[in-house]
Structures are given as C-alpha cells and as structure tokens.
Amino acid sequence: MRSFRSLSAQTGMIGWLWMSAVVIVMDQLAKWQAEANLELGQPVVVFPHLNMTLSYNFGAAFSFLADMGGAQRWIFALLAIVVSFFIINWLRKLNKTRTWTAVGLSLVLGGAIGNLVDRLMYGKVIDFIDVYFDIPMVMENYHFATFNVADMAITGGAVLLVLLSLFSDQMD
C-alpha cells in the first residue's frame, strides 16, 4: 500500500487542482441546496448549536466592508483572483514531496474560487451554516458568523499552513 506522500509525488499540480475543483463543486452544490431549501434569515435546527440559516454576505469575513455600496464586490473579487494566481504559482513550484502544504494550498484555492464565483455571479456570498453557543451567565445564543463550505476550506487550509510553518519543514 502506497503512502500519502508517495501518492502526492506522483500526483503533481494537476491532482491538487482537482482537489480545489472538488471543493468548488461541493461549495456551489451546498449553496444551491441552501438557496433552494431555506428561507432567508429563517433558521432550521439541525441539532443543538447548529442551524442552517440562509444569509448573504456582501463583504468579506464577518461582513467586513459590507456597507461600501458595491465596490467591495470588485475589490474582493480582484483579491481572490490575485491570491488564486499566487497559490497556483506556489503549487507549480512546490516540491512534490510537500504533500501537506499542497493540501493546505488546494483547500484555500478551492474556497477562494468558490466564494469568487458567488461574488461574480450574484454580487454577494451565499452563507448558510450557523453555529451558536450558550454560555450560561455570560451570553445566550452567541451566534458565530454564518459561513459556507468555501469558508471551511479556506479556514482549514490556512490553519494547516500555519501549523506547518510553525512545526514542520513542509513549507518549501
């Protein structure tokens, strides 16, 4: 049985771009399902601390710059395109034995393009995953920012890259 690392060495950049493509497709399918089955702002309880709640984000993370009157759509679209080219170039130059770095970059790339599709097509990002916490005597129903599959991929990939940069030689 081949190891993940040897599989990575044989896969190369095209395989990592396929991973990004899978993230994009999963993200877009999930958003399509959310829009087809959820009403804007109406939570559907999945289980305690997790709702599916359709919302639209006209800004960036945590609705950053959402009130710029539309210019943010193009600013964040351009930023996503620049970051995507940077990541593709990094993947192209990356040593084929740097499996986990490639995984992190592929996740970030897929997530960035998933949200870019929304910005270009709709002028907003479709979010629907609503996580909340009840902290007794401090706050009730603290809702974390509503997010989507692309956001999870970006976060997971970024966390992986940070961990690798701190604890590994995998960043070359």
136 in any annotated domain: yes
Q: Could you tell me which residue, 61 or 161, shows the higher pLDDT? A: 161
| Model confidence pLDDT, tens digit, residues 55-83 | 998 765 555 454 555 667 688 789 899 99
pTM of the shown model: 0.84
* Residue 67 forms part of a structural domain: yes
* Residue-number span of the structural domain to which 156 is assigned: 10-167
Q: Is residue 5, in this structure, part of any structural domain at all?
A: no
Tokens of 122: 């709709």
- HSE-up (13 A, CA, CB side) for residue 171: 12
Instruction: Determine whether 134 is an active site residue.
Output: no
Q: How far apart are CA 101 and CA 99, in angstroms?
A: 6
Catalytic member of 27, 118, 130, 151: 151
Cβ neighbours of 126 (radius 10 Å)? 25
Classify residue 75: in a domain, yes or no. yes
Q: SS3 of 58, please?
A: coil
pLDDT digits (tens, 9 = 90+) for 70-119: 667 688 789 899 999 999 999 999 988 899 999 999 999 999 999 999 99
Domains held by the chain: number: 1
Tokens of 87: 């990541």
Instruction: Look up 169 and say whether it is catalytic.
Output: no
Both tokens of residue 10?
């044989």
Catalytic residue among 27, 127, 134, 172: 127
